[in-house]
Amino acid sequence: MKVLLSRFAGFSAVPLISFIAPLFLLPIIPNVFGLEAWGSVGTAQAVGTVCAIVAGFGWNISGGARIALSADDTARSQLFGDSFWCRGLLVVTAGLVGAALSSALVPAEFRLVAALVTLATTAAAMTVVWYAVGVGNARVVLLFETVPVSISVALAIPLLLLTEQLLWYPILTLIGFLIGPVLLNLRLYRRPVPPFAGRRILRAYRANLSVAAAETIGGSYTSAPIPLAQGLLGSAASGQATSADKFFRIALFAITVLSNTLQKWVLEVSYAHGRLRRHLVAFGLHAALALIGGAALTVLGPVFSSLLFGAKATPEIAVFLGFGATFALTSLTTPFIRNVLVPAGLNRYVLFGTLGAALVGIPLMVFGAQWGLSGIIAGLAASELVILAVVVTAGIHHLLVERRSAFALVAPADGGIV
């Protein structure tokens, strides 16, 4: 238990530092450079987030388990090296495509900044977190991600204020994301990049294809509101969407921590020995987080947004209500995906739900734009309702089947009592 709590603390607290550090820098953009600059940065980050998911190619989901199951350190190093090239090649291609797209969406004076922000955000695909989880060592995250990213933020703040050149933000962010993997390569291979093994890299692409497809579809619709706001409503709306989205992303971290904590605990026992009861506990905790987190995001989001980003960059409370509803639905969905469907190999239902959410959600966001930014975010919440309906239906059916099977197996030993 002590080891488990130690790992929980390490893998929640250390990544949280990297997640929160930019909040010390980001308020400078709307308050010093204006709402159009803030909206342009937010649009570029949203495009870059999709590009990062494409470039990550499913390694965030599958990589940790593959590292943990590797036979020895040599196999783990080889796997990380293959992932480095697999992701790195896609960072370049997806990043360039995304940079061109984001620069076309923003006002002319922010095109170069937007292109660089998209490239920098895409480079987040080179994260070492999943490798650290696989080897069970949170210090890897601290040394090769948290420290470089935090240093880049610390350097960017005075440079932005002293020079009033927004370009410093994406340039230093890009360096912060890339220097960590390079340093890890020096530790693992004694060279800045690992050996290139073409056939293994092709096999890695094939192995991760289905996972990457589901992750890309999901990332596309959840990142759509800001670019849609930029294209349909203008820079002011995209700037306000960016402010609300920052708090939404921070809130999602709570879901990640809770699900990471509960997953092993739920799955370590069989249905005959209480797994269903543990599922119910997990559902209850995620439901509580949905209520508390959704309400907090709705009520406190506008307050903190005004304090950090300014009143002009803060949207109406209806936007935060939409993000709060999306958060709540995501929290309810997560235990069915992570604790029920994925462990049972029922990934197709996750893919079906994600695809349905995208097909329903994006048109609803476009349609909702006639009611302003709140209409777009309402479409986002509706998309999460679709995936919730799919995974809960499939998950409950699977739980009932497993429960019947478990009791059918133990019934003879219990004198036939079911």
Q: Can you give the pTM of this predicted structure?
A: 0.78
Query: For the chain, what is the total number of helices (H) and then of strands (E)?
Result: 18, 0
d(CA 201, CA 172): 29
- pLDDT of 121 over the 90 cut: yes
Residues 181-202: pLDDT tens digits? 999 999 999 999 998 888 888 9
Q: What is the pLDDT of residue 415?
A: 46
- 273 or 395: which carries more pLDDT confidence? 395
Mean pLDDT of the chain: 87
Residues 206-256: pLDDT tens digits? 888 877 887 888 788 888 898 899 889 988 898 899 999 999 988 998 898
Q: What is the pLDDT of residue 169?
A: 94
d(CA 166, CA 346): 46
- pLDDT of 21 over the 80 cut: no
Look-up: residue for tokens 């209806």?
318
Q: Are 74 and 146 in contact (CB under 8 A)?
A: no
- 338 or 251: which carries more pLDDT confidence? 251
Residues 50-63: pLDDT tens digits? 999 999 998 887 77
168-189 vs 73-105: helix crossing angle, rounded to 10: 170
Residues 291-312: pLDDT tens digits? 999 999 999 999 999 998 888 8
Look-up: residue for tokens 């947004």?
305
Q: What is the pLDDT of residue 395?
A: 94
Look-up: residue for tokens 């003879």?
412
Residues 138-162: pLDDT tens digits? 788 888 988 999 999 899 999 999 9
d(CA 264, CA 254): 17
| Backbone torsions φ then ψ of 268, nearest 5 degrees | -80, -10
Q: What is the pLDDT of residue 283?
A: 94
d(CA 267, CA 274): 10
Q: What is the pLDDT of residue 416?
A: 45
